[in-house]
Structure 1
Amino acid sequence: MKTWFKHLDLSTGLQLSFLVSVLLCLFVGGVGLYTWQQQRSEINFALDQDFPKVQAAFQTEEQINILQNAFVHLVNVKNTNDKVARYNNAKQQLTTLKELIIELNENLDDQLTDLLHQQSQLLEQISANITATLTLNEELNKTVSKINWLHNDFHNEFTALLQEMSWQQSTLANNIALHPQNTQKVEQLKKLQQELLLVYDFTNYEEQIITELRTQITEPSQNSAVRLHNYLSYLSLLINNRIALLDKHSSIITIQQILTELIRFGLNPQELPTLFSLRTDLHQQQQQLITQSESVFDAFRQRINTQIGNSKNQLHLLHNIVEKSTQFNGVLILLAMLLACIFVIAVNFFYIRLRLLKRFQQLNQAVVQLTNGEDDVKIAIYGNDELGRIAKLLRLFLFEMQKKTQELELRNQILLDEIDYRIKVQTALENTQNELTQAAKLAAVGKTLTSISHEITQPLNAMNAYLFSAKRAVKKQNIDAVLTYLDKINHLVERTALIVKRLRQFSRQGSGKIQAVNLTDCIQSAWELLETQHKNRQGRLTIPAQLPYILGEDVLIEQVFVNLFLNSLEAIEHVAPHICIEIANIDENCIRLWVSDNGKGWPLTEKLLQPFASSKSINLGLGLSISQSIMEQCQGELRIASTLEHNALIILTFKVTQDV
C-alpha cells in the first residue's frame, strides 16, 4: 500500500480525492433532497387542507396587479394601433380575472363579481376617452401642418418682397452716386430703408405667432386659450398698423393674408380655442376615470386582505411542523460534513504536504532563478509524475532560452533601426505641416492680390502723371511746382513700399521658436495686411485697449488672425464689416479672447475644424484647420461657437507670459 501510494501520479491521487469528496457531497445532497421532499409533502398537505382561501386570494391579487398594469399601459398609448392592442390586452386580462373568480367562487367573496363589473364599465369609458383624445390629437396635428404650410408660404413671399425692395434700394443708391445733389432720391432711399425695417418686423411677428401657436398646441396650460387670444390680438394690431405703411408694395397683400390666416387659427372660436377646450375636458374626464379605477382596485385588495386575515396563525403552525422535520435531517447532514472535514485534513497532511509542497517549493525556487536571469540553474527534481515531467520540460526550456537570447539581441538591433526610421518620418511630417501653413499664408496673400494690384497700380499711374507735370514745370523753371510734385511722388512711393513690406513680412516662414509675442501688434498687422479687403467696405475692428504678451511665434499668431479676418470678411454681405475682439477671461497664466463678427454665422459642427471642410464654393477649407493646429503648436486652443445673435464666434486661448 505504501509503495503504491508513493508511485501514484498526482492527477490520479487528486482524482481519487475528488471522487471521495463527490461521494460525500452526494450523501449530503441526498439527505438534503430527502429533507426537502419531506418538507414539500408537508407543505403541500398543509396548503391543500388549510390554506385554500389564501391560495385563491394570492392568485386573484396577482391577476389584479396584471390588470392594473394593463390599465396603466392603456392610458399612456400614443396612437390608435397601440390603443387597440392595449385595449384588447386589458379586455383579455379582465376576462382572465373573471374566469379566476368564477373558478374560485367557493373560496372568495361574491362581492368581487360586482367590483369586476364596475371595472369593466370603467374600461369601456377609458377606451372611449382615449379614442376621443387620439382623434383630437390628429386634428391638432392637421392644424400644425397647416401652420407649417403657411409658414413656408410666408418665407417665400417675404423673400420675393425683400428682393424687390433690395433692387429698388440698389437702383436708388446708383442714382445718388451719379447725382449726389438729388435730395429727392436721397429721401426716397431713406424711406425705402425704413420700409425694409418694417418688413423685417413682419418676420419677427410671424415667428412669434408660429412659436406661440406651436407652444400652446404642444405645451397646454390652464389659461392657454385666454393668453393665446390676448397675445394674437396684440400682434394683429401691430401688424395692421405697419401694413398701412407698406400698401404701395403689391406683395405685402399676400403677406398680410398669410399673417391674418395664422392669427385666425388662434382667434377663431371654431379653430384652436374649441380644440383646447375639448382637450381640457377630455383630460379632466380621464383623470376622474383613473381615480375611479384606482378606487375599484383598492376595493379588490381590501376584500382579499379580509379573506386572509388568519393566515399568520396558520403559517406559524406550518413552521412548527417543518422545524421538527428539519432538526432530524440536520443531524445527518452535520455528521456527513464532519466526515468530509476529516477526509480533507487527512489528504492535506499525508498527501499534499508531504508529497507535493516540498517538491513544488524546489520547482518554484528554480523558476525564480530563471526569472532573475541566472544561467547556472540546477533543477534537481525527478520522478514519473507530473512534477517530474514539468522539471524535465524546464531543463529543456533553459536550453531553448539560451538559444533564443541570441535571436532577441538580433531583433533588438532591428527594432532600433525601425525607431530611427520612424523618427525621420516624424520629422518629414512636421516639415509638411510647416509647408502647409506657409501655403495657407500664400493663399491668403493670393486672395488680396487683386485689390493690392489696384492699390499699387493707382499710385504708379499717379506718379506717372506727376512726373509728366514735373517735366513741364522744369521746362517752365517752376521750382516750387517741381518740389510739390516730387513730394507727392515720394508719398506714393512710401505708401507702395509699405504695402509690399506688409506682404513680405506676412509671407516669411516662422523660426519655430516659442517666445513672448505682442498680441496687439499681431492683431494690428493682420488687420492692416487686409486693408484692401475692408477699407472700401468701411470695415471696423474693435480690440481691447491693452493686451498682455503671450507665448507663441509672431508669424504664426498673425497667420491665425489673418485666416479669421478673411473668413469674417467673406461671410459678411450687404453690411459694413464689423469684427469685435473681446477679453472673455484673463488671469496670470492665460487669456481667452472672443472673436465675433456681424456675418450670417455658421452651423455648429466639428466638421468645420476638419481639413477641406468649407461652406464656400471656391475654398480649400484649410483656414480653421490650420489655425487650430497653430494654436495647439503655440500651447493654445481654438474653438468655434455662436453669439446670442447667431453670428460666428471664435474662442482663442493663449498662454500669458511675463518674460518680455
Structure 2
Amino acid sequence: TRQYDKKQLQPLDTQPLQRFDENSHLMRVNGPDGSANYIWESLPLKAEGWTLHLLRKPQFAFEDQRNAGLAAAGSWLALVFLVLFLTQRWRLARLRQRSRQELERLVEERTQALRTAQDGLVQSAKLAALGQMSAALAHEINQPLTAQRMQLATLRLLLDHGRVDDAYKALTPLDDMLTRMAALTGHLKTFARKSPSGLRERLDLATVVDQSLHLLDARLRDESIGTVLDLTRPAWVRGDAIRLEQVMINLLRNALDAMADKPRKRLEIRLHADQQLWQLTVSDSGGGIAEEHLNSVFDPFFTTKPVGDGLGLGLAVSYAIVHELGGRLIAANRGNGAVFTLTLPIALETPDLC
C-alpha cells in the first residue's frame, strides 16, 4: 500500500486457458481496459518469500512465422549469393584456364621461334668458321693432290720398266694420303651439317678435341704453334659432338688469332676430371683479355678484331651451346695469355657394348 500511494490493490480476475508447465500458463485476465490473454509465468523466490510473476502477450505464432519468413528469405538470399559466387568463381577459373592456355601457346611459339633462331645462328657461326678456315683447308687438300700427281707419274715409270714390286711399294704413301684426304673432307661435311638442338648422345670429349685439332692442323703447322696436350681418356659426357666441336674450334681459333703477332706461340689444352665434372681448359700466350672486356666476351656481336675478321658470334654461340648442355664456359687471364675453361657433367654410365 505504501508503494502504490495507499491505493487498494485488487486481485486480478483471471481465467486459466491452457497449462504449459507448473509455472507457466495461458491465462485470460480481466482488467479495467477489458480482458486479454497473457502468458503467465511464475518464479518462486524462496529466500525472500516472494513469487515473481511475468505476464506477456502470446505473439509466438506471429513472431515464429515472421522469423521463419526472415530465415527463409535469408537462406534464399544466401543460396542466391552462393550460386552467384560459385558462378563467378567458375567464370574466373575458365578465364584463367584460357589465359594460361593462351600464355602456354605463346610461350611455346616464342620458344620454338627462339630455338629456330638459335639453331640458325649456330649454323651461321659454324659456316662462318669454315669460311675463315677455307684457305688453310684448301691448302691441306691441294698439297697432297700435287704429291699424288707426282707419285702417279712415278708409278707409270715403274710399271713401264716392269718394276711391279717397287710400284706396289709406291702405292702405300699414295693410299695413306688418299685416306687422310677422305677423312678430312668427310669430317668437313659432317661439321658443316646442321645439327638440331637438344641432342644428348654419349661421347668422348677427348675425341672432340682430336677432331677439332685435325681441322686446324694446317694452321697449327703453318704458324709454328707449340702445342701441349694433356687429355684424360676417355672423358665421357652427354651432348652433341658436332656442336661441342664447334665450341672447341671457336676457342682454338680465338687462341690462334690472339697469338698471330706474338713471337712466342704456345697453346695448352688440358682435360681432367674435377669431382663430378670434366674440366677442359684452352690457354694461350696471346697477351690475355683486357680487364674491361672480360665481362663482355660472351656478348653477341662483341669483338675486338678488325672489321671483316669476325662477327663477334663465336664465343656467344659457344656459351649458348655449353649452357644448353648443362655446363659452364668462363674466360680469365693467366700468365701472359687468356684461358677459357669449359665444364660439363661426367656421364657415369658405362658405354654400350656392340
TM range (shorter): 0.5 to 0.7
**C-alpha distance 457-630 of structure 1, shift in aligned 2 (>3 A):** same
1:370-381 matches, cutoff 5 A = 380=74
Tell me how far apart the structure 1 counterparts of residues 267 and 178 of structure 2 sit (CA, whole Å). Answer: 30
Where do residues 325-364 of structure 1 align in structure 2 (5 Å cutoff)? none
Q: Is 1:634 matched with 2:286?
A: no
Name the residue aligned to 1:608: 297
Aligned counterparts of 1:488 and 1:569: Cα–Cα separation in 2: 31
**2:184 aligned with 1:496, yes or no?**
no
- The 5-angstrom pairing of residues 479-494 of structure 1 reads 479-494=164-179
Q: Is 1:537–1:576's contact at 8 Å kept on the other side of the alignment?
A: no
Aligned partner of 1:561 in structure 2 is 248
Give yes or no for contact 2:136–2:219 (8 Å, CA) kept in 1.
yes
Structure 1 counterpart SS, 2:202: strand
Percent of aligned positions that are identical: 24
Give the superposition deviation at 1:597.
0.7
> Residue 596 of structure 1: which of 279, 283, 288 is its match?
283
- Give the alignment of 1:532-571 within 5 angstroms: 532-547=218-233, 548-571=235-258
Maintained 8 Å contact 1:538/1:576: no
Q: CA deviation at 1:554?
A: 2.3
Tell me whether 1:581 sits opposite 2:275 in the alignment: no
- Code of the aligned partner of 1:629: A
Give the whole-Å Cα distance in 1 for the aligned partners of 2:72 and 2:163.
115
Q: 1:655, 1:554 → 2: CA distance?
A: 15
**Residue number in structure 1 paired with 2:346:** 656
- Inter-CA distance 467–612: structure 2 relative to 1 (3 Å threshold): same
TM-score between the two structures when normalised by the length of structure 2: 0.66
Match of 1:523 in 2: 209
Tell me: CA distance 1:491–1:635, structure 2 relative to 1, closer, same or farther (3 Å): same
**Cα shift at 1:496:** 1.4
Give the Å deviation of 1:406.
Answer: 4.4
CA distance in structure 1 between the aligned counterparts of 2:133 and 2:328, rounded to whole angstroms: 27
**Superposed CA offset, 1:169-190 (max 9, x none):** xxxxxxxxxxxxxxxxxxxxxx
Instruction: For 1:460, give the aligned amino acid.
Output: L
Tell me the TM-score normalized by structure 1: 0.37
Greater share of helix: 1
Contact 2:232 2:272 in 1 (8 A): no
Deviations 1:432-468 (A, max 9, x none): 2123222222222222210111121122222223333
Q: Distance in 2 between matches of 1:575 and 1:480?
A: 48
Match of 2:12 in 1: none
Code of the residue aligned with 1:636 in structure 2: it is G
Query: How many residues are matched?
Result: 272
Per-residue deviation at 1:611? 0.4
Alignment of structure 1 residues 198-597 onto 2, 5 Å: 380=74, 399=84, 402=87, 405-406=90-91, 409=94, 412-413=97-98, 415-510=100-195, 512-547=198-233, 548-572=235-259, 573-575=261-263, 577-582=265-270, 586-587=274-275, 589-597=276-284
Residues 35-70 of structure 1, C-alpha deviation per residue, up to 9 Å, x if partnerless?
xxxxxxxxxxxxxxxxxxxxxxxxxxxxxxxxxxxx
For structure 1, list consecutive stretches of 5 or more residues without a partner in the other structure.
1-376, 382-390
For residue 653 of structure 1, report the CA deviation from its aligned partner: 1.8
Aligned twin of 1:185:
none
Q: Deviations over 1:178-224 (max 9, x none)?
A: xxxxxxxxxxxxxxxxxxxxxxxxxxxxxxxxxxxxxxxxxxxxxxx
1:194 matched residue in structure 2: none
CA-CA distance at 1:431 after TM superposition: 2.6
| Separation in 2, partners of 1:474, 1:584 | 53
Alpha-carbon distance in 2 for matches of 1:407, 1:520: 57
Q: Distance in 2 between matches of 1:568 and 1:487?
A: 36
DSSP-derived class of the 1:543 partner: strand
Does the Cα contact within 8 Å between 1:516 and 1:659 map onto a contact in 2? Answer: no
Aligned pairs for 1:95-134 (under 5 A) are none
Aligned counterparts of 2:72 and 2:332: Cα–Cα separation in 1: 71
SS at match of 1:517: strand
**Deviation readout 1:79-101 (Å, 9 max, x if unpaired):** xxxxxxxxxxxxxxxxxxxxxxx
**Structure 1 counterpart SS, 2:330:** strand
Tell me the distance in 1 between the aligned counterparts of 2:278 and 2:146. Answer: 46
Give SS of 1:608's match.
coil
Tell whether the 8 Å contact from 2:231 to 2:269 is kept in structure 1 after alignment: no
Structure 1 residue 415: Cα displacement:
4.4
Task: Give the AA of the match of 1:483.
Answer: Y
Q: CA deviation at 1:652?
A: 1.9
Task: Output the CA distance in 1 between the equivalents of 2:93 and 2:237.
Answer: 50
CA contact (8 A) 1:578 1:598 kept: yes
Amino acid across the alignment from 1:424: E
2:27 is aligned to: none
Q: After TM superposition, give the deviation of residue 403 of structure 1 in Å.
A: 6.2
Higher strand proportion (structure 1 or 2): 2
Give deviations 1:569-596, integer Å, cap 9, x for gaps: 1110233532213468711x12334321
Cα distance, 1:659–1:411 mapped onto 2, change above 3 Å: closer
2:87 maps to a residue whose letter is Q
Q: Tell me: CA distance 1:378–1:628, structure 2 relative to 1, closer, same or farther (3 Å).
A: farther
SS at match of 2:74: coil
- Asked whether the equivalents of residues 448 and 532 of structure 1 are also in contact (C-alpha less than 8 Å), the reply is no
* Larger of the two Rg values belongs to structure: 2
Q: Which amino acid aligns with 1:650?
A: F
Residue identity opposite 2:346 in structure 1: V
| Amino acid aligned to 2:215 | L
What's the offset of the Cα at 1:613?
0.3
Deviation, structure 1 residue 489: 2.9
Q: Secondary structure at the match of 1:436?
A: helix
Report the residue type matching 1:647 in the other structure: G
Cα deviation digits, residues 598-643 of structure 1 (max 9, x gap): 1121123321110000111221111111111111111111111111
SS at match of 2:222: coil
Q: CA deviation at 1:530?
A: 0.7
Alpha-carbon distance change, 445 to 552 in structure 1, aligned in 2, over 3 angstroms: same
Of stretches 402-411 and 429-438 in structure 1, the one that deviates more from structure 2 is 402-411
